[in-house]
Every structure is written in C-alpha cells, then in structure tokens.
Amino acid sequence: MRILKSADEYSEFSESFRRRGSSVGFVPTMGALHEGHLSLVRRAQKENHFTTVSVFVNPSQFNDPGDYHKYPRHEVTDLALLEAEGVDAVFLPDKEEVFPEPDNTRYELGPAAKVLEGKFRPGHFNGVASVVKRFLELAHPNKAYFGLKDYQQYLVVKYLVSGLHLDTEIIGCPIVREPNGLAMSSRNERLNPAEREKAGRLYESLQMIKETNQGRPSDELGSAGRAYLKQFTGIEVEYFAVVDPETMRKPDPDDGSIPRRALLAAHIGGVRLIDNMGI
C-alpha cells in the first residue's frame, strides 16, 4: 500500500492507473476508521481495479472549532486497517497540501444544503464541497463512495459534481450499524458505554416512525419522533424531520404514497450524532 502525502504524488499515482485503462474507486474519509468506512472500501474494491482512500480531517467543514479539536485521530490504526483490506494507496495530506491557498468560493449546492444539517451547521457543506472538489480534481477517480449515514452530504456532493461536470460517479452506500442499531461513527468513541447504549434509541425512533408512517403527514411523524426521544433523559434532539428524499422539502403528496426519509440530529453526552432512514 502506497502512502501519499503530497497532492502531486497522489494525482500522479491515480493518473498512472488511468493511463493503463484501469478504473479507480475513491473513498474520502476523516479517519478513525470503523466498519462503516470499510464497507465503502470493500464496495470500491469490488467495482474498480484500484482503490484509493483519503484520510484528512478537513478543518473547513467544522463549524465548531471544539468539535474539530476533539475529533478522534488514529493514523497508525487506520493505516493498518487499510493495509489489511488491500487498499492500493492512501492519500494522507497536511492541510497545506489540500489548501495551499484558502478556498473562499461559495459553492452552489442545491436544496439539500439549505435545510437541517445545512441550517444547524452553517458553512459545513461549503467546507465539504471545497475538499471534495479538490480531491476529485486531483485524481479524477471513476467512482467515489459516500455513506448514506451522511444523507444530505451525499445529495450535496452529487449536486456539486453534476454542476461542475466532474467525471466521477457518486455512489451512495448503506448505513452500517452497531448491534443495538446505533449508526457507526467516529464520534461514537466519545460516548461512554451507558451513552452508547442510550444512542440505540435514535435508531429505535426511526424504526418506530417507519412502522407507523402509513398515511400520516410528515409534520406529525416528526413530532412523534421528537416525543419518542423526549422520554429518555440525556438525549437532546436538535431536529427530527420527515422530508422528500430528493428535494429535502415537505413531501407532496404528504400521505406516504411516495417514499419519504426521516432524518435526525441529537446530542448525547456532549456528542452530536446524526442518523436517517427511508420510510
């Protein structure tokens, strides 16, 4: 496995595969890897000749500096996990390699960037767009893999890539969960065992909404989700919404006759967690 630290090296490495007519799959991550990340890696390996992974904690997508500083970093373990998976190259750049000049562009990111995560984390999606654009332009992978755990991010990246006419197909991959239903996340390691157990309630709330969604309007489902979680001390809900999965707006018709998606953000033990489910 090659470990590439400079942008030029990374670009050249990917280019060398493409010159040989091989396809390249790319998995961008912020490290502290878990089975969710590895599921993306395995999918990329299945669908491409070569797989590259980036590990970069992107400061520009953190609207809260405290969250950036507390974000877990496990470079040695991450590299060992990727090596064991048979990844071809890891891009492990410093901030200066990624952003030699600050990127002050305001990206056009479509409707998904304006609500929920977009509203509660101002600037977050612009920071995501900035780093994703940079990585895709450096390496031009054939396909890039994103988890549906960050559902809005997936929509925003698809919108960005299509607007900029980048030649990478964006693939959304299913959410990988802990046995109690908690969506795997690097942030979960900041939860103590009791909080981690409690965080399984987030999944339960989505399941409950899915099971009782027939014919009920989205506002009512959102309120029911919030009410369910309110029963448990130590869970602070930031939002719980049911929306059209394409437009992220109120579904029309809003009677369950078209697919809808429930999305939530909540704080448990000082950790901000997100999750979602098609209902």
Backbone angles phi, psi at 70, to 5 degrees: -85, -5
DSSP symbols for 60-88: GG-SSHHHHHHS---HHHHHHHHHHHT-S
For residue 250, what are the CA distances in angstroms to 36, 239, 243?
29, 15, 5
Looking at the Cβ atoms of 17 and 151, the one nearer to ligand AMP is 151
Q: Compute the least distance from the CB of residue 40 to ligand AMP, in Å.
A: 5
From 176, 195, 220, 244, residue interacting with ligand AMP (rule: CB under 6 A): 176
E-strand ranges in 34-142 read 50-55, 89-91
Q: How far apart are CA 242 and CA 209, in angstroms?
A: 9
With CB under 6 A as the contact rule, which of the stretches 7-15, 43-51, 68-76, 177-185 interacts with ligand AMP? 177-185
Looking at the Cβ atoms of 175 and 221, the one nearer to ligand AMP is 175
> Considering CB under 6 A, how many residues would be counted as binding ligand AMP?
17
Q: Compute the least distance from the CB of residue 109 to ligand AMP, in Å.
A: 16
E-strand ranges in 162-250 read 169-173, 235-243
Annotation says 37 is catalytic: yes
Looking at the Cβ atoms of 40 and 44, the one nearer to ligand AMP is 40
Q: Would you mind telling me the total number of residues written for the chain in this entry?
A: 279
30 binds ligand AMP (CB under 6 A): yes
CB 54 within 8 Å of CB 90: yes
149 binds ligand AMP (CB under 6 A): yes
Beta-strand relationship, 261-268 and 271-278: antiparallel
Q: How far apart are CA 200 and CA 48, in angstroms?
A: 34
From 146, 159, 203, 240, residue interacting with ligand AMP (rule: CB under 6 A): 146
Q: Compute the least distance from the CB of residue 14 to ligand AMP, in Å.
A: 19
Beta-strand relationship, 261-268 and 235-243: antiparallel
Q: Compute the least distance from the CB of residue 252 to ligand AMP, in Å.
A: 28
With CB under 6 A as the contact rule, which of the stretches 107-115, 181-189, 220-228, 269-277 interacts with ligand AMP? 181-189
- Residues forming the site for ligand AMP (CB under 6 A): 29-30, 36-37, 39-40, 146-147, 149-150, 173, 175-176, 183-186
Q: Which residues are catalytic?
A: 37
